[in-house]
Structure 1
């Protein structure tokens, strides 16, 4: 069945309501459910009957006033187990239930909290309690214990919540769990109920919006802030700075910063970090100097942005001054995380080695730094040293390590970290699950990625990062049906505002053969970044539409977007697949001379492929010999394929000799040469080559094919 047009897929995606949303008198509090997979709260009633019958009957004979005094005393002293036992008595009042539930939250004891909740319902005080402070305490307890499903269920049972702190605590829980879209939806619901937000609620929703990268929604909230007169609050200003910086609107961030009546250290750090991350390195250093002159406290967060900014400007003096300040202030131990910005791995490693005490933060910072600058091979050694030092990697260390092994395609190391995550119950943490899917997808193990994705759906809701991790697996399997399902889900959840998700979807549609859908999605993007253009250029090239790729490349440049190495790789690939020899050479020279981008192996491979496919075999051979970098097997194989197309046996023998020396165990090259001999009817050469393969004990690698039936992929191999 043909795929439906993109317009039909997105027809169910509703536009966000106005800010603040209109209040519906007939339904003042719309229900927005957050999940359907968690077990019902009714099952928790089983916990109320776990105590032996004799013990429970004895407890019920304790006088009500005495038992409440005992429960409160136990809660003040931290005696949770005994206090929970006394909740089974008669005469327990709401205040005692609140005290025990609050203690469960403080001690992060979810099991005890569920038991207390079950006893509340079993005692018949749930209805009255939900209308008072008890419901809020229950919801807050579940939030603190990390059970957002139960927290939301309790919250939705409360008839009308006018306390903004209750709304904010639940929003904060979603933000900490990475479910930023649900946090934004909850904020909308709060406004629909007529609850006026305070600075904490505003800061929380702005954090969610910043992580979603939804600048339009952020501007709407900014307008709401102005109407409510909350702009003077320092916390609100800081959240706005973070939002605009994260969304690339640094001028608006500076405007907010300059308009603040009072700026604290967080304000300065946020604006300096925002300037650096948006490429305003000179402004970041200027703001740092101004901050120092005003006598404000400077911490490691400030230096994380200032040192890389000074490095980008070539300002060694500022770097030395900040480094000296770090030594004097005792913040030296945090400087190893700066190595990616200043490009001084050796110096940062010496700093790290000189530290007397290293904790999980310093080790994780070092791992993250190596990952950020592409030294993936060093990460495994760091993890091993970390373990020998008696430090257990945390979620952040595991996530960074998995990203490194995904980028380096180190499957065995990635599997080892996966095992560690399972043993330490980290597999169900969303960032770790996302990194695992990314690692398996980059190692061409799409089925393993989908298996993890299915397990994830049983426990929590995927976020925008999950979409970008699983879509490459969809693309590798050419599973258009699954891709459309994920597209629909992303639309329903509002993840299309995240620039990474539309780009991943376009890449998926291109690789699944649905170029028209990719083009429709590209045309609908309000803001197209370099990645968006590059994906579509590569897509046209993949489908043999080289002329269209060139037109799109020129449109990108006319829109003020400068191409990078990946963009030139895409356009060279497009020229190669369409046989556009002259245009290919023009882009190759433009990359080197006009844009000052030094070609890499993949660019040279495109030129060799282009020359080989157009019959210029001798020119391709001479081009390879003139390359300033050592050619790998892929470059020689491109020429070998050209030799087969144009039946140049003599050159094929020379090329095959070079490629077989590089990869002697790869039987595919022997087979390719054998086919060249066979097509030239050189049967004696074919026989000798087959004997050579058999004498070395090599076996031909068999291919495979797959078909998707009713959402399941079936793989077929020879034999």
Structure 2
């Protein structure tokens, strides 16, 4: 049939449609009309109104167009908007079909449906389905625009529908602001599975504030009876040093209706929280209770317990747990061995560490790059630099398991003393890092900058720009240095050496408030367990801790992790890392006033210092005798800016010794020990020296015995100090006893030992002359 003959009846039907309501179209007429519209839409996505009849199109025509496989999504959208009134009774069939079509073929076109949906009287039907399609297509901005425009009575329902999709989106972190906005107004909370996923992502990204907001909102609505939810929250609060929250959640599990039964992951999370909070003794008690009640520890349990023991220098306990793990044939991994190896090196047990390294090989544990890094770093820090270098170069020659951290350790050690040849060797290692494809990170670059400053090898600084090509860190560091030098040339508005920076009018004798800050309950000690015995409890000690969790809320005043010069967390810590680097450079050169001015510029820009920042300044204040400024700095921190670490208390003890208050320093150590804070050998050495200066040699000897009992190994400084103070006190036999013990333990003397031995020899000769 010629095209003109087919079109004539259709034109006549359209011309009479306005005059009288047409009878129902036959199937043939529907097909002809649908075919004509589809043919037009295949050539252009625009549908003029002249092609549409005055009466609404029947459903078969709509379905034919929307299901047409050859029509592009834009043409289908154009047809729908032109042919469908907002109040059409066909929307229940056509709108979902269009949503599926656009979501599959061209998701951005979904945005154009928002004005149509808002103008329809069927808001309660259209908006939820459109919102679901926008969220599933990751059209977050359009979904939020829909929520902004939604009527108030529909908003709670829409918010509840949107939350699971936002949480399950490919980038839930980007959706966190929207989630925080919708969570309080949603008609019901998201499903527990979605909530767990959200909390796990927030915990992994260390978004503590967002995590706490979601947790508080869930608490307001009623915590779900889901063990995974509790495990995630206990783990997160524990790693953020909120021990009281972790323990309260454990107590809430038992108090829930029905009770939530803890599993091995729950106990692992609680043990880890106790370790991070410095309560290793409690963690060991709970570990023992687990085994006695038949809860079999897994590799993560052993990891947490041994990690806590190693970081608190309880190496005897760590080795006992390790031996038990081996005897039970528990699956162990290289992480457990690395943790023990690191602890032995830090406890100055060099021989035991080297023997344990051989045990790893005998047990068939495949050493990782982290293992070699631990050994190299431990050898350097135990005075075995030659052995560390030999191991590194041997591994490099064999091409075995070295990474960027291995090179960074070597660069740090070569740059530490600032000797020209060693700094040049460090530069060659950095070139090799670049050639091998390792990332030259900020830690490595700042080590080089320190070496250049100490050796005054500015020619080497110019060389690194030429071969470090792929890192944006180096240009940023050099640009930062240039800006810093310009800022330091400006007028200084602080007093000489920065003594006016930390003004203090308080009582210097009130140093104990640093151990028990205001707002912390009692002394951080848990009351004795006088609770009635619960025969059904799997961990009575943990139940007791959970009941008294509020007394443990001061764990933030101390951290076992020593502050790091460079945290290396990208732009988030870049300024603090660079400030710490140049503070160490200026303070090493005795330029306290320049360091204080740099700190002033840094803080005036609204930045906060780290533990390393404050400890560096306080160390120089102590050396200069500015003890009031030390207390002022401590009170400014107040345990809030950043937690105190071992180095902080070393400075406090040194300052108290200079003030002649060695007894107060000893009291602080006792108090910290009761709180579960474990001191390192530097802290003991400092206090032994201060006792010696005020003539309390017996107390110094008692501290030495305490070191031995705690599982730490005295180092060369310990013995040098004990030999020196005993010799000056005329206790020559005791001095000789410590000298012989030092030799018997294989501790190599240093230059200070030689000076002390010369003095000891003179004293012995003088004593002999007096006896004659």
Secondary structure of 1:525's match?
helix
SS at match of 1:181: coil
Deviation at 1:502, TM superposition (A): 1.7
1:227 alignment partner in structure 2: 327
In structure 2, the residue matched to 1:328 is 435
TM-score (norm 1): 0.57
Q: Tell me how far apart the structure 2 counterparts of residues 105 and 391 of structure 1 sit (CA, whole Å).
A: 17
Asked which structure has the greater RCO (Cα within 8 Å, sep 6+), the reply is 2
1:705 corresponding residue in structure 2: none
CA distance in 2, matches of 1:132, 1:82: 27
Deviation at 1:317, TM superposition (A): 14
Are 2:231 and 2:266, in contact at CA under 8 Å, matched by a contact in 1? yes
SS of 1:270's partner is: helix
**How many residues are paired up?**
505
**Larger deviation, residues 464-473 vs 191-200:** 191-200
Aligned to 1:76: 168
Aligned residue for 2:717, secondary structure, equals: helix
Answer whether contact 1:307 1:341 (CA < 8 A) is retained.
no
User: Which of 123, 134, 139 is equivalent to 2:234?
Assistant: 139
Matched, 1:449 2:545: no
Displacement of 1:394 in angstroms is 4.3
1:94-138 Cα distance to aligned partner (Å, 9 max, x none): 525445544544564444433333322332x13x54x63333333
- Alignment correspondent of 1:567: 753
Q: Does 1:115 align with 2:213?
A: yes
Identify the match of residue 181 of structure 2 among 81, 85, 90: 85
Query: In the superposition, relative to structure 1, how do residues 261 and 555 fare at CA in structure 2: closer, same or farther (>3 Å)?
Result: closer
Partners in 2 of 1:245 and 1:432 — Cα distance? 26
Distance 2:245 2:179 in 1: 22
Residue 197 of structure 1 and its aligned partner are, at CA, apart by 4.0
Q: Which of 698, 702, 707 pairs up with 1:520?
A: 702
Equivalent pair of 2:430/2:440 in contact (CA under 8 Å): no
1:545 is aligned to 2:730:
yes
Distance 1:453 1:315 in 2: 37
Q: Distance in 2 between matches of 1:470 and 1:519?
A: 21
Contact 1:359 1:391 (8 Å CA) reproduced: no
1:226 is displaced (CA, Å) by 1.0
TM-superposed CA distance for 1:473, in Å, is 0.9
Map of 1:535 onto structure 2: 721
Distance 2:483 2:764 in 1: 47
Which residue in 2 is equivalent to 1:639? none
Distance across 1 between alignment mates of 2:410 and 2:333: 26
Partner of 1:410: 591
- Residue 402 of structure 1 contacts residue 439 of structure 1 at CA under 8 Å; is this kept in 2? no
After TM superposition, the structure 1 stretch with the greater mean CA deviation from structure 2, 426-435 or 464-473, is 426-435
Instruction: Note if 1:262 corresponds to 2:366.
Output: yes
Shift of 1:214: 3.4
Residue 70 of structure 1 and its aligned partner are, at CA, apart by 1.7
Checking the alignment, whether the CA contact within 8 Å between 1:281 and 1:310 is kept in structure 2 is no
Listed as ranges, the gaps of 5+ residues in structure 2 are 1-147, 255-259, 490-570
Q: Which moved more, 1:317-326 or 1:431-440?
A: 317-326
Distance 2:730 2:482 in 1: 46
Aligned to 1:684: none
What is the aligned counterpart of 1:473 among 655, 664, 670?
Answer: 655
Instruction: Provide, for residues 328-378 of structure 1, a one-character-per-residue CA deviation record: whole Å limited to 9, x for no partner.
Output: 324595676479999987485454343556979669999xxxxxxxxxxxx
Match of 1:7 in 2: none
1:370 paired residue number: none
Is contact 1:406–1:443 with CA below 8 Å preserved after alignment? no
Residues 298 and 391 of structure 1: CA distance in aligned 2, closer, same or farther (over 3 Å): same
**Alignment map for 1:46-195 (pairs within 5 Å):** 67-77=159-169, 78=172, 79-88=175-184, 89-92=186-189, 95=192, 97-98=195-196, 100-102=198-200, 104-105=202-203, 108-123=206-221, 125-126=222-223, 128-129=224-225, 132-142=227-237, 150-151=245-246, 153-155=248-250, 157-159=252-254, 162-166=262-266, 168=268, 179=276, 181-182=278-279, 185-186=282-283, 188-194=285-291, 195=295
What's the CA shift string for 1:639-680, capped at 9, x where partnerless? xxxxxxxxxxxxxxxxxxxxxxxxxxxxxxxxxxxxxxxxxx
Aligned to 1:354: 466
State the distance in 1 between where 2:240 and 2:706 align.
41
CA contact (8 A) 2:434 2:468 kept: no
Contact map agreement 2:653 2:662 (CA 8 A) in 1:
no
Tell me the alpha carbon deviations over residues 593-622 of structure 1, each in whole angstroms, 9 at most, x when there is no partner: xxxxxxxxxxxxxxxxxxxxxxxxxxxxxx
Q: What is the Cα deviation at residue 86 of structure 1?
A: 3.3
- Measure how far apart 1:427 and its partner are: 5.0
1:140-175 superposed Cα distances (whole Å, 9 cap, x missing partner): 454676756645544554437744445555666787
Q: How far apart in 2 are the matches of 1:407 and 1:319? A: 20
Provide closer, same or farther for how the CA distance between residues 357 and 67 of structure 1 changes in structure 2, counting only shifts above 3 A: same
Mark the runs of 5 or more structure 1 residues left unpaired by the alignment.
Answer: 1-54, 367-378, 587-719
For residues 501-553 of structure 1, what are the alpha-carbon distances to aligned partners after superposition, in whole Å with 9 as ceiling and x for unaligned? Answer: 221222233344533322322344324322112223443466x5375685467
CA contact (8 A) 2:433 2:439 kept: yes
* Alpha-carbon offset, residue 486 of structure 1: 0.7
Q: 2:726, 2:165 → 1: CA distance?
A: 73
Partner of 2:107: none
Q: Which residue number in structure 2 is paired with residue 300 of structure 1?
A: 404
Contact 1:474 1:482 in 2 (8 A): yes
Q: Which residue of 2 aligns with 1:500?
A: 682
RMSD: 5.1
The 8 Å contact of residues 426 and 432 in structure 1, kept in 2 or not, is answered as no
1:416-427 to structure 2, matched below 5 A, reads: 416-420=597-601, 422-423=603-604, 427=608
Report the Cα distance in structure 2 between the residues aligned to 1:553 and 1:546, rounded to whole angstroms. Answer: 11
Which SS does the other structure have where 1:262 is aligned?
Answer: coil
Aligned to 2:353: 250
Match of 2:95 in 1: none
* Contact 1:446-1:473 at 8 Å conserved across structures: yes
**Structure 2 Cα separation of the partners of residues 237 and 219 of structure 1:** 11
With over 3 angstroms needed to count, the CA separation of the structure-2 counterparts of 1:222 and 1:573, relative to structure 1, is same
Deviations 1:261-304 (A, max 9, x none): 43333334434444455455666566556645765453333334
Question: Quick one: structure 1 residues 138 and 306, their matched pair in 2 at CA, closer, same or farther if it must change by over 3 Å?
Answer: closer
The farther-off stretch of 219-228 and 207-216 is: 207-216
TM-score normalised per structure 2: 0.53
Q: Which moved more, 1:499-508 or 1:353-362?
A: 353-362
Provide the residue aligned with 1:590 in structure 2: none
Contact conserved, 1:72 with 1:99, CA < 8 A, in 2?
no
Q: Secondary structure at the match of 2:367?
A: coil
Q: Distance in 2 between matches of 1:214 and 1:360?
A: 42
Q: C-alpha separation between the residues in 2 aligned to 1:230 and 1:365?
A: 47
